[in-house]
Amino acid sequence: MYSEKVIDHFTNPRNVGEIPDANGVGEVGNATCGDIMRIYLKIDDNGIIEDAKFKTFGCGAAIATSSMATEMIRGRSIEEALSLTNKAVIEALDGLPPVKVHCSVLAEEAVKTAVADYYRRRGEEVPAAAIVCDGCCEACAHKAQEE
Amino acid sequence: MPFFGELYGNPSSAYSIGAQAAEALAEARKTIASLLGAKSGEIYFTASGSEADNWAIKGAAQALREKGRHLITSKFEHHAVLHAMESLERDGFEVTYLDVNENGIVDPAALEKAIRPDTTLVAVMLANNEIGTIQPIAEIAEIAHRHKAVCFTDAVQAVGNIPVNVKDLGVDMLALSGHKIHAPKGIGVLYIKTGTRVRTLIDGGGQERGRRGGTENVAFAAALAKALSIAVERMEDNARVAALRDRLADGLLARIPYARINGDREKRLCGNLNISFEFVEGESLLLWLDKNGICASTGSACNSASLEPSHVLLSIGLPAEKAHGSLRFTLSHENTEEDVDYILDTLPGIVQRLRDMSPLYNSSMARIADVAVRG
């Protein structure tokens, strides 16, 4: 059911962990739905993503999309990270089963939420491209849990 | 399998190979009846366990609808039962879904409270398919009968695993399925006690004493009879299988913190183990187990098309996040102590590895000693 690339990123996930001095952290999903992704970003003074790491609770596709999304934004500019789409993540993984597409949506939203956090920490206005729904991809029947 | 070759005859036809097929069908029916403590005339072949469930529930509800339109079942039935009930609700029937206690058992006292003069059917499964818990069906049937209701049990998961005798259970109808006991997929049986009023679900050409249309699947019926005979013989091995299952359960609980067994530990099928691991998700556990040559299943939403966690695990009070981290192991007489020990060596490392990348898991929590993962 999964492509070889998905299995590769699931069994050997890239960028697992936390960044102690991250300046942007985004968490999306909830345990009720069965997926939580937390992405840590270290963004330098020139707006380049020096490092990206993740921690994910979820299925094989959730882990693989987290791994791929962090790979795709490392070393890129904030603008490039914000233009990352779930479709690009799916393509990079050689496809996902239809029922797992929402995992790629979560990965895209986790990146955007982490970037939004970066702007908030700096006291700057969050660009429209970084605003996503409140941590639920609406793929399932549950609503996002209140913080 | 002569029924696909020289004995291809239609059991309803007049020619001689048809008669031979009819004889084989009668023989299969007799074998199954005797293994269940029933009469041959009470055994009806269907195309699946789901068909048998649908026939029993819809057939009895419709046949008795002048008497009443209230039906009772439990919250953790198989979807064939739950969805048949929901279909009847759309047709104007009222259904009470009994709660299941935290050990995965339907309390007969709950039935006693819910049953009414207009209740016509009580349907509770004999053994749950996910957590393996065995239900007090004899008591449930007694209560149903005292209130003039028909009692049906879905015994798909129980037949071939525990002794099943329709007289001891006291039920009016019982469903079973072939593939659960190593017969081919696509054959089931509905036992209907003589005198039970059930409307026909599949109208047709008079097969199965006029109660279930469609030319009988002679080959699969014969296979089912054989498979059931073998399964009943193998029950001698149940105690050994239960000991293996307990070794696995105790071993996993000892090695992995934040784990719990789902369902009563005593009143359950010998080969069933359902266990939840906090902070991790079931499908990712399955992928790692599969990579290590271990086949299991999960109640996680992520492993289903519906994206909803197991209704069985939710019914016993498990919160969704723990249902997501559940695994079901099914052991059989073919499994060995080495198999169990291999799982005990392999799974703790898998759980730790996934916990280490889980945002729900605090790294200061109790760790599993051996974190090596094979493969």
Which residue has tokens 């007799």? B30
pLDDT of residue A33: 81
pTM of the model: 0.88
Tens digit of each residue's pLDDT (9 = 90 or more) over B286-316: 999 999 999 999 887 666 666 688 999 999 9
Nearest to B130 by CA among B9, B360, B355, B304: B304
- Burial of A117: CB neighbours in 10 Å, binned 0-12, 13-18, 19+: buried
- CATH 3.90.1150.10 holds for B237-356: yes
Span B147-196, pLDDT tens digits: 999 999 999 999 999 999 999 999 999 999 999 999 999 999 999 999 99
What's the CATH number for B2-234? 3.40.640.10
Burial environment of residue B260 by CB neighbours within 10 A (0 to 12, 13 to 18, 19 or more): middle
The residues with which A49 forms a beta bridge, in sequence order, are A43
pLDDT at B304: 64
Lowest mean pLDDT among A41-50, A122-131, B68-77: A122-131
What are the strands, taking DSSP E only, across B287-368? 326-330
Q: Is A119 exposed, middle or buried (0-12, 13-18, 19+ CB in 10 A)?
A: middle
Q: Where in chain B is the domain with CATH 3.90.1150.10?
A: 237-356
Q: What is the pLDDT of residue B305?
A: 64
Q: What are phi and psi of B175, to 5 degrees?
A: -110, 145
Q: Do B104 and B128 form a contact (C-beta atoms < 8 A)?
A: yes
Residues from chain B contacting residue A31 (CB–CB below 8 Å): 320-321, 324, 360
CA distances from A128 to A83, A114, A115, B105 (A): 12, 14, 11, 52
In this structure, what are the phi and psi dihedrals at residue A98, rounded to the nearest 5 degrees? Answer: -50, -40
Q: Does A59 touch chain B (CB under 8 A)?
A: yes
Q: Give the tens place of pLDDT for each residue, A55-110.
A: 999 999 999 999 999 999 999 999 999 999 999 999 999 999 999 999 999 999 99
- As for the ipTM of the complex, it is 0.88
Q: How far is A13 from chain B (nearest CA, A)?
A: 10
CATH 3.40.640.10 domain extents, chain B: 2-234
- pLDDT per position as a tens digit, A91-102: 999 999 999 999
Q: Is A16 on the interface with B (CB under 8 A)?
A: yes
* Residues in A touching B303 (Cβ below 8 Å): 59
| Joined tokens for residue B340 | 């169990």
What mean pLDDT do residues A120-147 have?
Answer: 67
As given in the structure block, the two tokens for residue A107 are: 């990965």
A137 as an active site residue: the answer is no
Please report the domains of chain A, with CATH numbers, ordered by start residue.
Answer: 4-130 (3.90.1010.10)
> Which pLDDT does position A48 carry in this prediction?
97
**B287 close contact with A: CB closer than 8 A:** yes
The answer to whether B309 faces chain A, any CB pair under 8 Å, is yes
Return the axis-axis angle of helices A60-73 and A101-121, rounded to nearest 10°: 50
Interface test with B, best of A15, A16, A57 (most B CBs within 10 A): A57
Residue from A58, A49, A51, A3 nearest A30 by CA? A58
**CA atoms of A23 and B134, how far apart (whole Å):** 54
Q: What residues in chain B have per-residue pLDDT under 50?
A: 370-375
For residue A32, what pLDDT is reported?
Answer: 82
Query: What φ, ψ does residue A39 adopt, rounded to 5°?
Result: -115, 135
Q: B288–A56: do the CB atoms touch at under 8 Å?
A: no
If you measure CA to CA, which chain B residue comes closest to A40?
A: B359
Whether residue A29 lies within 8 A of chain B, CB to CB, comes out as no
Which among A118, A104, A113 has a CA at the least distance from the CA of A134?
A: A113
Question: Catalytic residue at B302?
Answer: yes
Across residues A110-126, what is the average pLDDT? 95
Mean per-residue pLDDT of chain B: 93
| β-sheet bridge partners, residue B276 | B260, B326
| Minimum Cα–Cα distance from B280: chain A residue | A57
Q: Closest Cα to residue B231, out of B158, B300, B296, B167?
A: B158
